[in-house]
Chains A and B, each alone.
Chain A
Amino acid sequence: MTTVDRVTNASFEAWKAAYDRARQRDVPFETVSSAPVLPLTTPADLSGTDADAEIGLPGQFPYTRGPYASMYRTRLWTMRQFAGFGTSIDTNKRYHYLLDHGQTGLSVAFDLPTLMGYDSDHPRSEGEVGKCGVAIASLADMETLFDGIPLSDVTTSMTINSPAAIIWAMYLVTAQKQGTKLDQLGGTTQNDILKEYTAQKEFIFPPAPSMRLVIDTMEFATKHTPRWHPVSVSGYHIREAGSTAAQELAFTLADGFAYVVAAIERGLDVDSFAPRLSFFFNSHVDFFEEIAKFRAARRVYAKRMRDKYGAKNERSLMLRFHTQTAGCSLTAQQPLNNIVRTTWEALAGVLGGTQSLHTNSMDETLALPTEHAAKVALRTQQLIAYESGVANTIDPLAGSYFIEDLTNKMEASANEIFDQIDEHGGVVPAIEKGWFQREIAAAAYHYQRELDAGQQIIVGVNKFVEQGDDTKLDTLFIGPEAEREQLERLAKVRRERSQGAVDGALERIRTDAASSVNMMPAFMQASEAYCTLGEMIDVLRDEFGTYTEAPAF
């Protein structure tokens, strides 16, 4: 603390006196994470910071100012809008539409049955097929999804976790059938199982076998798909589940380090896989807090990777991340306001140095985005990129007393939280004790109570409420016909494939699951034989068991 400096600084004292005399608005002056905010930061707040060592330059350790030397002056961030709904035919059409409008990467949203490893015709899938994303039950659906889209030319991000290894195998086989070599493929599988236990709760197996599958994909990628990011360590869902910004940062990095440790234990050299690890953060409404979070993430990661995990390759130290604006910040009331919120959330991502970005559509609290709403969201990014001028210079907020102080505070909070996780024995034991889940639930409840008490404001919800607000947006309605069509598609696959090949491939999955070999070749063989996702997952459920969460409040 720098009280001494301040006392000796007469002008500061004069300001302080004037400030204290002034009437202050009766609001808590805190971030959306309930962190207090100073009225003013001055050089005194940074007097303990070695600017060269902590802030440095872009492309140089500890990468606070960005992973690359030239950042957006070489290449803008990838505009990657997450999309998927209905059958693979429906989603394939949307991908062609987005690519035609200037989108530069694809991002697949899967439906809940796929995310949970159930085939579209499983009884538990009823009513959920194609609702929140696209239904992928076998290689046939994957082939249709990318029909007419050369996988050698686009990069694809796939939001899939528990069944990620299998879905990725289907993607690899689809690419091979298009004539693309595996080493040409670029993209990302989310494949971050740890945050499923803490936040998103779409888990199937217990942590140990789940971790094994993640490390199998990392190992396979290291050997065969050098341009693929096998894991995107995700804070997005932790934040959406209600965590604070500091918790999002620390929990996510801790998950990332847990994969690093597990891969090292597998016998992989840290510098062989770390350059392909990527991250995924939320960009919430508190503009400066978010920018500080992104900048701190790079610094904390670089230091730990070098000092604790022995990484030497520069690319192992640079944290690269995707950003999505905060779905939980959007409102059903006065939905056009969502465009504005999304704009500054996206801007925070860009000023924080993101490598790719998804901007939410204004209608997401009502339904899946319509084509029109998705286009406005994409245009929002294009406006920032081409009109606002912010992409012309690198890390323009560096050196701001406020931003640098906030970045330091984020780093300190993250380190404190790492210590707490260590006290619980590490990430997996803390999950099993429900610690993360309790921390997140408590933060979510705290925020909701502040909101109810008017200490946090959401325009249109608890301030400037319009009675009889009649803004009507068109919404995308996924009717029952998508489910019907998907069931027909799946029945056809089951009819036309060779049962012998299916049985053999599933038997291999069983054998491999019981041993410790890398399972990717078995998943690729089964995909080629048109085994369904559900059939493969069922074998694994048998071998690995399933996970039930003990509720934590």
Chain B
Amino acid sequence: MITIQGLRKCFPNGLEVLRGIDLAIGDGEVVSLIGRSGSGKTTLLRCINFLEEYDAGEIRLDGTPLWYRAATGGARTRMPEPAIRALRQQMGIVFQQFNLFPHMTALENVCLGPSFAHKRPEAEVKALAQQLLERVGLGGKMRSYPYQLSGGEQQRVAIARALAMRPKVLLLDEITSALDPELVGEVLEVIRSLVLERMMMVIVTHELRFAREISHRIAYLSRGQITEIGPPGELLDNPQDSTLKEFLRRMP
């Protein structure tokens, strides 16, 4: 499970993007983060993977503090790089812009992480990658390069690549926002199947219908704080926070 306590982050220009985030996500739980652009939801997700540094607060994975170590006098220092790498290998992240490596085939993209991170024999990694690609419905496109794949297919490869790390948690950052509408369904279908497998997921999304369907809880962020959190039915149908009401009114 992941516990986040008192997370704060300032951008260099002085803007406070995260102003004290507390959030606990249990094993097998799916939590969606919604909110206006600029509310800090993507930054929060990126902090969990340490693609962004943060100024205060703590993130723990299964009880182990991540990314920073307490130093003497209340200060803190970044963990050494190898430790950071080892922790990142326990998480998977999928980005809005697919981000597949253009010079590698679908299969190579999926194999890259585990073959270096887990130091497993080549054949074993390949078998795992093939299995994952088949699972996301791309068994026939393993040798294709990203430019030969549609956006939806690329995003499914990206999901397979994240899964290949055997992550404890999957972080999804607006994974359907850059897709043509008719390709959204195939990607969401893959995510649905992961919910059934009780994969812990944190999802930043604008698709409220989808968030309602698969989330155990939805958190609404406003100006760097979680102002409301709860089961989808409660939060979406009976919002308490006034800005959330306004936000939901404007969403289609």
Partners in one complex: no
On B, residues with C-beta under 8 Å from A are none
